[in-house]
C-alpha cells in the first residue's frame, strides 16, 4: 500500500461517523486496513447526532433499524419503544462506538472541504476545515442522503431578532417552547414530528404549509418486558423479513392489486393498515399502489377521508388534504395526533399557496396578507438531499475533473457505489444506490459488507486502483432511470426527484433514487462481485 512518493497516511479514509461510517470502520479494521473516519460533528451518530429537534424518532420499527452484524450487540441492547426517539437512538450509536472502540480511529470537528485524487500516486488527499491534510489510497463517503440542511430562500431571513433554528442543526441544549409564539416553516416528515411536540407547550404555534403531505399514524408505544423477550428471540426472522422486502422494512407489499378486490374488502384492508403501526400503509399496501394511478387514487381518497374526520374545521381539513400528488408518492410523514393539533386553539395553519411569505422581518414572518410576530422561528425546510453532501465538498477525480462537472447533466454512477473517473472512491448510500430509498441500516449493512469483500481483495492482491468503466456506469444509470420511470413518485416534485425551491435551477426532476428494490439491488451487487467485479477495473 505504498505510493510512489512514499506511504499514504491511511489505507482508507471514511467521511462521516454515522451508521454507515461506524460499521465500515469496524469491517475495515477486521480486514486489517488502516482507517480513519473524519466527522464534522463532535461525536458519532450522523443523522441522530444532528437532528435533535423534539419529536425526532424512527419511523422504522426500532428492532428492524439497529445493526444486525453482532449477536452480542443484539443481546445487550434494548430498545424502549417500538419507534425509538432520537435521544435513545443517539445513545445506541454511542453504545456501539464504545463497545467496538470506534472513536480511537475517528477525528471529530473535522469537516471535509476538499478531496482530490492524485492520478500518479493513486491516492486521495482530503482537506478538512481546519486546514489539515490526510492521504489515503481509498476514499469511502458515508455522508448519508441528508448531509446538507437547507434554509429557505426568503428575503430578510437574517433580520429576525428572536430565536431561530433549523431542525437539522438543532442546539445541544434544551430548547423551550413554553408559552412562546412559535412559527414553523415546512410540513415534511421532520416538521410533522416537531409540530406535534411544539403544540403541546407553545403559547401559540403558526404552521406555514406550502404543500400538504399525506401523513399516516405511527402508533408508537413502549415495548413491554414480554415483547422485549420475544424481540430478542426473533431477530433472525426480523432481519430475514427485512431482507426479503422491497425497501428493507418489516412491511412488504400485499400481492393483490387494489382494484382486484371488492370495495368492501379494499376499505377493510385500508382500515386495518391505518390502525397498524409503522410504514405498513405505505410499504405493505397493494402491490400496484405506488405504480398505478387508479390504485393510488383509492388509498388517497381513503386517507383524505381520515383527515376530514380528524380535523374539526372543514376548511382547515381541506387545506391539509394534498391535491397535487397521490398517497405515498412523496415521503409519508408518520404522525401521532398530528391532525388533532389543528383542532387546538393555540394552533393556526397558514396556507402559503393562498398567502405566500413575502419576507422575514425583525419581528416575524410577513405573508401577502398579514404580519405574524414570533418569539421563535423553526425552519423545518429539509435538505439539499442525496447529492448536496457531495456538492459541498470540492471532489476532484482523475485529471482534476470535479464531481460537480461530472454530474452537471445528471447523476451517473455504477451501482450507486462508484463514479467513473473517480478511481478509489466509493459512495455508501450514494445516489442510485438502493440504500437511498430503504430502511437505511439494512441497506447500509449490504453496502458495507460488499465493500468489505472488495477491500479484502484489495488487501490480498495489493491493489492500487479500482475504477468503474464508462460502459458499466452507462448501463447502471440507464437501469436506474428505467426503474424510476414506472414509479408514480417520479412524476411528483419532492426531494425524491431532486426538486428544491431553495436552490436555483433545481426545478426540473432528476433520477436520484434506486427504485428497483433492495433484493434486486443486492443480487446485482453480488453478481458484479461474483464476476470478478465486472464493470470495474482492478489494478
Q: What minimum distance in Å lies between the beta carbon of 341 and ligand NA7?
A: 15
C-alpha dihedral over 486, 488, 490, 496, to 10 degrees? Answer: -120
Compare residues 27 and 330 and give the one whose CB is closer to ligand NA7: 330
Reduced to 3 states (helix: H, G, I; strand: E, B; else coil), residue 130 is coil
Q: What minimum distance in Å lies between the beta carbon of 57 and ligand NA7?
A: 11
CB 380 within 8 A of CB 167: yes
Q: What is the 3-state secondary structure (H, E, C) of 188-235?
A: CHHHHHHHHHHHHHECEEEEEECCCCCCEECCCCECCHHHHHHHHHCH
Q: What minimum distance in Å lies between the beta carbon of 302 and ligand NA7?
A: 22
Interface map 233-262 toward ligand NA7 (x if CB under 6 A)? ------------------------------
Q: What minimum distance in Å lies between the beta carbon of 531 and ligand NA7?
A: 34
Pick one of 21, 55, 66, 152: the residue that binds ligand NA7 (CB under 6 A).
152
CA distance 537 to 414: 12
Pick one of 110, 298, 381, 433: the residue that binds ligand NA7 (CB under 6 A).
381
CB neighbour list of residue 199: distance below 8 Å, 6 or more residues apart: 205, 341, 344, 346, 347
State the number of binding residues for ligand NA7 (CB under 6 A). Answer: 23
**Phi and psi (nearest 5°) for 118?**
-105, 115
Compare residues 188 and 535 and give the one whose CB is closer to ligand NA7: 188
Pick one of 17, 123, 189, 434: the residue that binds ligand NA7 (CB under 6 A).
189
CA distance 147 to 268: 40
Q: Assess 321 for contact with ligand NA7 (CB under 6 A).
A: no
Q: What minimum distance in Å lies between the beta carbon of 31 and ligand NA7?
A: 31
Compare residues 115 and 440 and give the one whose CB is closer to ligand NA7: 440
Pick one of 21, 46, 183, 382: the residue that binds ligand NA7 (CB under 6 A).
382
Q: Assess 191 for contact with ligand NA7 (CB under 6 A).
A: yes
| Closest residue by Cα to residue 419 from 498, 464, 473, 471 | 473
CA distance 521 to 283: 17
Q: What minimum distance in Å lies between the beta carbon of 281 and ligand NA7?
A: 16
Provide the CA 477 distance to its chain's centre, in angstroms.
21
Stretch that binds ligand NA7, among 79-87, 222-230, 379-387, 398-406 (CB under 6 A): 379-387
| 433 CB burial (10 A radius; 0-12, 13-18, 19+) | buried
Give the pairing of strands 163-166 and 376-379: parallel
**Phi and psi (nearest 5°) for 368?**
-60, -20
Stretch that binds ligand NA7, among 17-25, 27-35, 259-267, 381-389 (CB under 6 A): 381-389
Compare residues 398 and 502 and give the one whose CB is closer to ligand NA7: 502
Q: Assess 300 for contact with ligand NA7 (CB under 6 A).
A: no
Reduced to 3 states (helix: H, G, I; strand: E, B; else coil), residue 53 is coil
CA distance 307 to 317: 6
Pick one of 190, 387, 446, 490: the residue that binds ligand NA7 (CB under 6 A).
190
CA distance 446 to 434: 10
Compare residues 355 and 402 and give the one whose CB is closer to ligand NA7: 355
Q: Nearest to ligand NA7 by Cβ — which residue?
A: 188
467-506 residues near ligand NA7, rule: CB under 6 A: 495, 501-502
Interface map 196-215 toward ligand NA7 (x if CB under 6 A)? ------------x-xx----
Give, as one character, the DSSP assignment of residue 150: -
Compare residues 208 and 282 and give the one whose CB is closer to ligand NA7: 208
According to DSSP, the residues that pair with 140 across neighbouring strands are: 14, 426
What stretch of H or E contains 49? helix 47-50
344-363 residues near ligand NA7, rule: CB under 6 A: 352
Residues near ligand NA7 (CB under 6 A) are 146, 152-154, 185-191, 208, 210-211, 331, 352, 380-383, 495, 501-502
Amino acid at each position: 500500500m505504498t505510493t510512489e512518493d512514499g506511504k499514504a497516511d491511511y489505507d482508507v479514509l471514511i467521511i462521516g461517523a454515522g451508521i454507515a461510517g461506524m460499521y465500515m470502520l469496524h469491517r475495515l479494521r477486521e480486514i486489517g486496513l488502516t482507517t480513519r473516519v473524519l466527522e464534522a460533528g463532535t461525536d458519532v451518530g450522523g443523522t441522530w447526532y444532528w437532528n435533535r429537534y423534539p419529536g425526532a424518532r424512527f419511523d422504522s420499527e426500532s428492532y428492524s433499524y439497529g445493526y444486525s452484524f453482532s449477536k452480542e450487540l443484539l443481546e445487550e441492547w434494548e430498545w424502549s419503544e417500538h419507534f425509538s426517539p432520537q435521544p435513545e437512538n443517539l445513545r445506541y450509536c454511542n453504545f456501539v462506538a464504545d463497545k467496538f472502540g470506534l472513536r480511537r480511529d475517528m477525528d471529530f470537528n473535522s469537516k471535509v472541504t476538499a478531496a482530490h485524487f492524485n492520478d500518479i500516486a493513486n491516492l486521495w488527499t482530503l482537506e478538512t476545515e481546519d486546514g489539515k491534510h490526510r492521504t489515503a489510497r481509498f476514499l469511502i463517503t458515508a455522508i448519508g442522503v441528508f448531509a446538507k440542511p437547507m434554509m429557505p430562500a426568503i428575503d430578510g431571513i437574517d433580520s429576525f431578532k428572536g430565536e431561530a433554528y433549523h431542525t437539522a442543526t438543532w442546539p445541544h441544549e434544551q430548547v423551550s417552547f413554553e408559552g412562546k409564539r412559535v412559527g414553523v416553516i415546512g410540513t415534511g416528515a421532520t416538521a410533522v414530528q416537531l409540530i406535534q411536540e411544539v403544540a403541546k407547550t407553545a403559547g401559540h404555534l403558526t404552521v406555514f404549509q406550502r404543500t400538504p403531505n399525506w401523513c399516516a399514524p405511527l402508533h408508537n408505544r413502549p415495548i413491554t418486558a414480554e415483547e422485549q423477550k420475544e424481540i430478542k428471540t426473533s431477530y433472525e426472522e426480523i432481519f430475514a423479513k427485512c431482507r426479503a422486502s422491497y425497501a428493507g422494512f418489516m412491511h412488504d407489499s400485499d400481492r393483490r392489486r387494489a382494484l382486484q378486490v371488492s370495495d368492501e374488502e379494499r376499505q377493510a384492508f385500508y382500515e386495518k393498515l391505518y390502525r397498524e403501526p409503522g410504514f405498513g400503509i405505505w410499504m405493505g399496501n397493494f402491490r400496484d399502489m405506488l405504480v398505478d394511478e387508479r390504485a393510488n387514487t383509492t388509498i388517497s381518497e381513503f386517507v383524505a377521508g381520515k383527515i376530514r374526520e380528524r380535523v374539526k374545521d372543514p376548511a382547515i381539513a381541506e387545506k391539509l388534504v394534498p391535491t397535487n400528488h397521490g398517497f405515498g408518492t412523496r415521503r409519508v410523514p408518520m404522525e401521532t395526533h398530528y391532525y388533532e393539533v389543528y383542532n387546538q386553539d393555540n394552533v393556526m395553519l397558514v396556507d402559503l399557496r393562498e398567502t405566500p411569505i413575502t419576507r422575514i422581518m425583525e419581528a416575524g414572518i410577513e405573508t401577502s396578507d398579514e404580519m405574524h410576530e414570533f418569539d421563535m422561528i423553526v425552519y423545518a425546510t429539509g435538505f439539499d438531499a442525496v447529492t448536496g453532501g457531495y456538492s459541498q465538498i470540492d471532489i476532484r477525480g482523475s485529471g482534476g475533473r470535479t464531481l460537480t462537472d461530472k454530474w452537471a447533466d445528471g447523476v451517473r454512477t455504477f451501482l450507486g457505489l462508484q463514479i467513473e473517473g473517480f478511481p478509489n472512491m466509493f459512495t455508501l448510500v450514494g445516489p442510485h444506490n438502493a440504500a437511498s430509498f430503504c430502511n437505511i441500516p439494512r441497506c447500509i449493512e449490504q453496502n458495507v459488507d460488499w465493500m468489505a469483500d472488495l477491500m479484502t481483495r484489495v488487501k490480498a492482491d495489493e491493489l492500487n486502483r479500482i475504477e468503474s468503466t464508462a460502459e458499466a456506469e452507462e448501463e447502471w444509470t440507464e437501469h436506474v432511470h428505467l426503474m424510476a420511470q414506472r414509479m408514480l413518485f417520479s412524476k411528483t416534485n419532492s426531494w425524491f426527484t431532486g426538486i428544491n425551491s431553495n436552490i436555483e435551477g433545481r426545478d426540473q426532476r432528476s433520477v436520484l433514487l434506486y427504485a428497483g428494490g433492495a433484493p434486486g439491488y443486492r443480487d446485482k451487487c453480488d453478481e458484479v462481485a461474483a464476476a470478478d467485479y465486472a464493470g470495474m477495473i482492478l489494478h
